[in-house]
Amino acid sequence: MATIVDEAVDVDLAADGDPLAFVWQRFEHRVVGQPQALFSRQAWWTGDSSPARIDIETWRVDAARGDEEPTRYDLRRDTAGRWTLAVAWT
């Protein structure tokens, strides 16, 4: 079941640009496994996109807080480089 979160988060990236961890509600969530990059198209005249960037960048990751079982999350990066935790899959 998907829970819409839509909260700003800080994301640590690997040298290749993949998410390694993110901080949500004061807790670090470490990415386990291989993150999956998803891109979707958006009409540039809608929303806050510019004609130079019409893709929505989303990363689907499995991440765990401490010793807890991993949970699947969708992280979204906007055109300014800000990260949002979009969805928590529970």
Mean local confidence (pLDDT), 21-34: 97
Stated as kind and residue range, the H or E segment containing 54 is: none
Q: Are 32 and 62 in contact (CB under 8 A)?
A: yes
For the chain, give every domain's residue range: 2-89
Mean pLDDT of the chain: 90
Q: pLDDT of 40-58, one tens digit each?
A: 776 667 666 565 556 789 9
Task: Give pTM, 2 decimals.
Answer: 0.84
Q: Which phi-psi region, left, alpha or beta, contains residue 5 (left: φ > 0; alpha: ψ -120 to 50)? A: alpha
Q: pLDDT of 71-83, one tens digit each?
A: 999 999 987 889 9
Stated as kind and residue range, the H or E segment containing 68 is: none
Distance CA 78, CA 44 (A): 13
